[in-house]
Amino acid sequence: MPTDYEDLEATVKSANQELYRAFREQDMGAMTALWAREHMVACIHPGWHVLTGRNHVLTSWRAILENEDSPDVTARDEQVHINGDTAFVICTERVDRTELVATNIFVRENNEWLLVHHQAAPFSRRVPVVEVEEDTVN
């Protein structure tokens, strides 16, 4: 039997998956519905400057989704973290044959999990981290 946290986690993950479905299907109506109305929103597309405000963010999504060369994007390795009425999802985006790391931040508005921030950027594969002993750090 799932816990309340597991139920919340599943709901946030579903909202995150809806973002990528709307992206893949170029569904501007769904994309618009996913973004918060009562909270400030921001978005950083790969290689872009910060966009703030619902109008600027949705205008950017409209330009992306209306582009006939809009890429096929999927998300995987989703990690959901919930803190009260705020949640964030860290995931790997697959854009054609490229991988990006993405963070999607959601808030609960009128009992729905809605986006307030999306950021995606390229990354390199993990490099082993060498632990440094405290005694050797000045």
pLDDT in tens, 11-42: 999 999 999 999 999 999 999 999 999 999 99
Give the rounded distance of the alpha carbon of 79 from its chain centre: 11
State the pLDDT at residue 78: 97
Statement: residue 94 has pLDDT above 70: yes
The whole-number average pLDDT for the span 114-134 is 81
Residue 96, by phi and psi: left (phi above 0), alpha (psi -120 to 50) or beta?
Answer: left
State the pLDDT at residue 59: 98
Q: Are 106 and 116 in contact (CB under 8 A)?
A: yes
Q: What is the pLDDT of residues 37-93, one digit of tens each?
A: 999 999 999 999 999 999 999 999 999 999 988 888 999 999 999 999 999 999 999
Spans of all domains in the chain: 4-124
Statement: residue 1 has pLDDT above 80: no
Can you list the positions of beta strands (E) in the chain? 42-44, 51-52, 73-83, 86-95, 98-109, 112-122
Between strands 42-44 and 112-122, the pairing is: parallel
Statement: residue 135 has pLDDT above 90: no
State the pLDDT at residue 128: 61
The average confidence (pLDDT) of the chain is 92
4-124 to CATH, choices 2.40.50.100, 3.30.70.860, 3.10.450.50, 3.20.20.70: 3.10.450.50
Task: Quote the pTM value.
Answer: 0.87
Report the alpha-carbon angle 76-79-83, nearest 5.
150
State the pLDDT at residue 123: 82
**Spatial distance between the Cα atoms of 15 and 34, rounded to a whole number of angstroms:** 8
